[in-house]
């Protein structure tokens, strides 16, 4: 007899179908991502500036800018930031956010992370934060980053990563896909390192941190209905105990309060 989690497991969308899903999902939820505390105030934002050590003459690209939080953070430290995103509505929400914040050196460009509309060796730095799990071909994204970076340019990425344990990795991607149809996959750190090295991006610094997601607010960013939220919660509650332990799932009175995931931050330099 199949297990509950097998019967409920969402089927991955085909790669060619994911990008329209991502656009539709983020068009509907753009303002929620601008206001999201975990996106707007994560501790990695200040660290991002420290790690990059930007020069005032730099021109930077923020890929999949979302609510524009990285672009806003970099804006005072560099000459210009190009904030790109696949979803026009998300980009417009980011522009409103940054205009209200007083940013005057940010340009907004609709762009696919896997096919960037920029010439080779254009940027001093490229950033991408809490987005690559939506990319169907993350290896292609890394190649595009390397292409548009100047020799010696820096690439800083932050995203959720999967555990090495196969059952835990499968659960993470299944629950994320059930919550967000535009989710493709959180790769493991080992995969990211292989792609970065192959693209000529040398890792110079990285760290992992445990990120606690409050279930109600985490779910609310993507919830289509109360029934959708209940479906995701039920999927978590019926996971194997050892899988729930892997993500520090907190349950009280039969309700999911929170779950934690691993987030990886990496800084690379393009080989000359």
Residue 4 is predicted with a pLDDT of 35
Please give the span between the terminal C-alpha atoms of the chain, in angstroms, as a whole number: 57
pTM more than 0.85: yes
CATH number of the domain residue 43 falls in: 3.40.50.150
Asked if the model's pLDDT at residue 237 lies above 70, the reply is: yes
Domain count, the chain: 1
Q: Residue 23's pLDDT band (boundaries 50, 70, 90)?
A: low
The closest of 256, 214, 220, 217 to 235, measured between CA atoms, is 256
Evaluate whether residue 243 is within a structural domain. Answer: no
**Mean of the per-residue pLDDT values of the chain:** 89
Evaluate whether residue 251 is within a structural domain. Answer: no
Contact 159, 264 (CB under 8 A): yes
Residue 90 is predicted with a pLDDT of 87
- Half-sphere exposure of residue 113: CA atoms within 13 angstroms, side-chain side: 29
Long-range contacts at 43-46 (CB < 8 A, ≥ 24 apart): 43/209, 44/129, 44/158, 44/209, 44/263, 44/265, 45/69, 45/70, 45/73, 46/73
- Location of structure tokens 């890929």: 63
Question: Domain range for residue 35?
Answer: 4-212+262-270
pLDDT tens, residue by residue, 102-158: 999 999 999 999 999 999 999 999 999 999 999 999 999 999 999 999 999 999 999
Contact 122, 147 (CB under 8 A): no
Evaluate whether residue 26 is within a structural domain. Answer: yes
Residue 16 is predicted with a pLDDT of 54
Contact 120, 148 (CB under 8 A): yes
Evaluate whether residue 239 is within a structural domain. Answer: no
Any alpha helices (H) in 124-246, and if so which ranges?
138-148, 166-179, 189-198, 215-220, 226-237, 241-246
pLDDT tens, residue by residue, 73-106: 999 999 999 999 998 988 999 999 999 989 999 9
Which residues make Cβ contacts (< 8 Å) with residue 194, sequence separation at least 6? none
Evaluate whether residue 15 is within a structural domain. Answer: yes
Residue 36 is predicted with a pLDDT of 53
Contact 62, 74 (CB under 8 A): yes
Evaluate whether residue 240 is within a structural domain. Answer: no
Evaluate whether residue 238 is within a structural domain. Answer: no
Residue 33 is predicted with a pLDDT of 53
Q: Running DSSP on this structure, what letter comes out for residue 115? A: B
Evaluate whether residue 235 is within a structural domain. Answer: no
């Amino acid at each position: 007899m199949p297990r509950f989690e097998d019967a409920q497991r969402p089927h991955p969308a085909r790669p060619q179908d994911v990008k329209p899903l991502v656009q539709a999902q983020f068009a509907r939820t753009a303002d929620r991502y601008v206001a999201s505390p975990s996106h707007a105030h994560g501790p990695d934002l200040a660290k991002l500036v420290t790690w990059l050590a930007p020069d005032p003459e730099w021109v930077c690209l923020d890929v999949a800018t979302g609510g524009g939080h990285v672009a806003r953070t970099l804006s005072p430290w560099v000459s210009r930031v190009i904030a790109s995103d696949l979803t026009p509505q998300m980009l417009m929400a980011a522009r409103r956010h940054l205009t209200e914040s007083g940013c005057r050196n940010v340009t907004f460009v609709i762009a696919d992370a896997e096919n960037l509309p920029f010439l080779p060796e254009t940027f001093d730095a490229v950033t991408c934060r809490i987005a690559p799990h939506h990319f169907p071909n993350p290896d292609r994204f890394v190649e595009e980053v390397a292409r548009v970076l100047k020799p010696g340019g820096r690439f800083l990425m932050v995203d959720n990563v999967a555990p090495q344990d196969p059952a835990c990795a499968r659960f993470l991607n299944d629950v994320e896909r059930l919550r967000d149809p535009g989710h493709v996959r959180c790769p493991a750190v080992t995969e990211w390192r292989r792609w970065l090295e192959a693209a000529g991006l040398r890792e110079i610094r990285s760290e992992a941190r445990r990120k606690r997601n409050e279930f109600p607010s985490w779910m609310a960013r993507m919830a289509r209905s109360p029934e959708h939220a209940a479906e995701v919660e039920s999927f978590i509650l019926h996971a194997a105990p050892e899988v729930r332990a892997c993500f520090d799932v907190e349950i009280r009175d039969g309700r999911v309060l929170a779950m934690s995931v691993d987030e990886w931050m990496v800084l690379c330099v393009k080989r000359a």
